[in-house]
Structure 1
Amino acid sequence: MSNDNVTNPGEIDPDEAIADAWAAALEEQKESEQREPGGETHSGMEGIRRMSPEDFSGTRPEPASDINLNMVLDVPVTIAMEIGRTRIPIRNLLQLNQGSVVELDRLAGEPLDVLVNGTLIAHGEVVVVNEKFGIRLTDVISPSERVRKLR
């Protein structure tokens, strides 16, 4: 039989000592938060009032012409050109090697999709400029149409 919870008379229980130390520290913190340098006490909540939805009813968003876009002009985005997609089982994927042909869902001559951060923003066609591939935009998706496609 173990006597772990029994202490000898005059001996301090370590768990009680820790609990007392925490209680004293918390009380000291509470007192220091309530005192200002002049010695006055306060709750720290003066000047704060509760807001209701009605308090915001008179606020209106800024007109679009007042919005400053300069802060987002340097945010990097990922732009990708997609020539097509397909779905294949993992079994067929593992069998692919050099020279394999993967059939896509797009016909030859169809425009490519231009995606920004995964969102379709335009269609275009492949061009070669100075021996580098590029894309000529043929149709840009309007913002309202992009929002409609999100729904």
Structure 2
Amino acid sequence: MSEDTLLLDDDLLLDDDLFGGETETVASPAETQAKPVRDMQFFSHLPVQVSLELASAELSLGELMAMGEGDIVALDRMVGEPLDLRVNGTLLGRGEVVEVNGRYGVRLLEVEASKLSTAGN
């Protein structure tokens, strides 16, 4: 690898606000209370993967290979318990399945407040 292809720290100019980074300077108490509100409108159009997790089970590979048609896998949830709603693999909340005009949907029953409260910071 030649010296021309190496990047130095001075070669990278990154905007701390773009990544939500903090500076290493110590702020006064007045500065820490008055954080500017960031405009998150840009992020509202980014696609995310939303999935519903009904329940799960842990099986050995041997148990899985021995299964046949008609066998039942016992899941870790009871009938009627809410589903987990995951966004990009992270738990956002819980809900229940509903049917609207012939399509399945989810009604949110609870939302992980900590996940949403930090989204705008």
Q: Please say whether Structure 1 and Structure 2 have the same fold, judged by a TM-score greater than 0.5.
A: yes
Query: CA separation in 2, counterparts of 1:74 and 1:145?
Result: 16
Equivalence for 1:56: 25
Query: 1:36-75 CA deviation, whole Å, 9 max, x = no partner?
Result: xxxxxxxxxxxxxxxxxxx83459678252x011221222
Higher strand share: 2
Query: CA separation in 2, counterparts of 1:116 and 1:79?
Result: 5
Q: Is 2:64 aligned against 1:81?
A: no
Check the 8 A contact 2:92/2:115 in 1, yes or no.
no
Check the 8 A contact 1:120/1:146 in 2, yes or no.
no
Query: CA separation in 2, counterparts of 1:135 and 1:101?
Result: 25
Runs ≥4 residues deviating over 6 A: 144-147
Check the 8 A contact 2:52/2:84 in 1, yes or no.
yes
Question: Of the two, which has the highest radius of gyration?
Answer: 1
Measure how far apart 1:102 and its partner are.
1.4
| Alignment root-mean-square deviation, CA | 3.0
Measure how far apart 1:145 and its partner are.
9.3
Q: Structure 1 counterpart of 2:25, which letter?
A: F
Higher helix share: 1
Q: Structure 1 counterpart of 2:41, which letter?
A: N
Equivalence for 1:27: none
Give the TM-score normalised by the residue count of structure 2.
0.62
Change (3 A) 1:81 1:146: farther
Query: 1:97-139 CA deviation, whole Å, 9 max, x = no partner?
Result: 4433211100000111111111111111111111221111111
Check the 8 A contact 2:95/2:106 in 1, yes or no.
yes
Measure how far apart 1:95 and its partner are.
2.9
- Please give the secondary structure, in 2, of the residue aligned with 1:92: helix
Q: Structure 1 counterpart of 2:74, which letter?
A: E
Q: Percent identity between the aligned chains?
A: 32
User: How many pairs are equivalent?
Assistant: 93
Q: Structure 1 counterpart of 2:82, which letter?
A: P
Give the TM-score normalised by the residue count of structure 1.
0.51
Greater relative contact order (Cα 8 A, min sep 6): structure 1 or 2? Answer: 2
Equivalence for 1:114: 85
Which blocks of at least 5 consecutive residues in structure 2 are unaligned? Answer: 1-23
Query: CA separation in 2, counterparts of 1:71 and 1:145?
Result: 16
Partner residue of 2:75 out of 95, 98, 104: 104
